[in-house]
Amino acid sequence: MGNPFINAVYIGHPGWKAMGGRIGYSAATGVMVLLLTWLGIAALISSLIPLIAILPILLYIGMLIGSQAFQETPSRHAPAVVLAMIPQLAAWGKNLIDGALGAAGTNAATVGFDKLGMNGVLYKGLATLGGGATLAGIILGAVTVFIIERQLDRAAYFALAGAVFTFFGLIHAEDLGIAQSPAVAFSYICVAVMLYCFAKFAHVAPAAIESHGHGEMSEQPAE
């Protein structure tokens, strides 16, 4: 739908954008993937090409996309990029723990969350932070970007959206439902109220930006 926070980043994304690729390119990619899966071609290709041959390609793509996340955005937005990745790292850590415990014939609940915590494994924290990692990263990254840009009212709106998503289990939860993570949802609301009050009563002006090319932007003092 033209969402600027697209969550299906593909290799060469900045190049396609520079050549004019917009929603049509993403839509065509989605339709092609849909046809490949519906017709069973994706499964056929997966059976013909060994996984060991695909992993180096995925590693290269991951390195390229990771570097582009910093290179193609203003340097002052780097904290937002890092913060947006944290839910994914939490989800990855939880999956590693689940896999290791599963291979041992047990799980986190059986071992005991307290016992895991005493050994430095904050399982429930990883589960909460990593729930809905992609959407959570978008929310955290957007809030951070708008704080950096001193557009605190917009940051407040995204924080409020984070509260709604959290309340219904779309992020920071393992399952969909009502009040899945009420404490986290309340925290988002507190952040949203705080940012909105700052925007209305602190007289924070948006940062004046001057472009120097190559994705580098310098911040000038606000009026």
Is residue 67 located within the same domain as residue 83? no
Categorize the per-residue pLDDT at 10 as very low, low, confident or very high, splitting at 50, 70 and 90. low
Q: Are residues 17 and 109 both part of a single domain? A: no
Kindly state whether residues 111 and 178 are assigned to the same domain: yes
The backbone torsions φ and ψ at residue 220, rounded to the nearest 5 degrees and listed phi first, read -105, 155
Write down the pTM of the prediction: 0.70
Are 93 and 164 in a shared domain? yes
Whether 44 and 106 map to the same domain: the answer is: no
User: 1: pLDDT confidence band, cut at 50, 70 and 90?
Assistant: very low
- 59 and 168 belong to one structural domain: no
Q: pLDDT, tens digit, for every residue of 144-176? A: 999 999 899 999 999 999 999 999 988 888 778
**Domain residues for 113?**
75-220
| Mean of pLDDT values over 90-119 | 87
Indicate the pLDDT class of residue 8, thresholds 50, 70 and 90. low
**Alpha carbon 105 to chain centroid, angstroms:** 32
Whether residues 121 and 204 share a domain: the answer is yes
User: Which phi-psi region, left, alpha or beta, contains residue 105 (left: φ > 0; alpha: ψ -120 to 50)?
Assistant: left
Q: Give the residue from 44, 72, 100 where a domain finishes.
A: 72
Same domain, 6 and 21: yes
Residue 18 has pLDDT above 60, yes or no: yes
Mean pLDDT over each residue of the chain, to the nearest integer: 82
Among 72, 91, 108, give the residue marking a domain's end.
72
Q: Looking at the structure, do residues 120 and 188 belong to the same domain, yes or no?
A: yes
Any idea what the Cα angle at residue 84 is, between residues 80 and 90, rounded to 5°?
A: 140
**What's the total number of domains in the chain?**
2
> What's the pLDDT tens digit per position in 44-95?
888 888 878 888 888 887 888 888 888 888 889 999 999 999 999 999 999 9
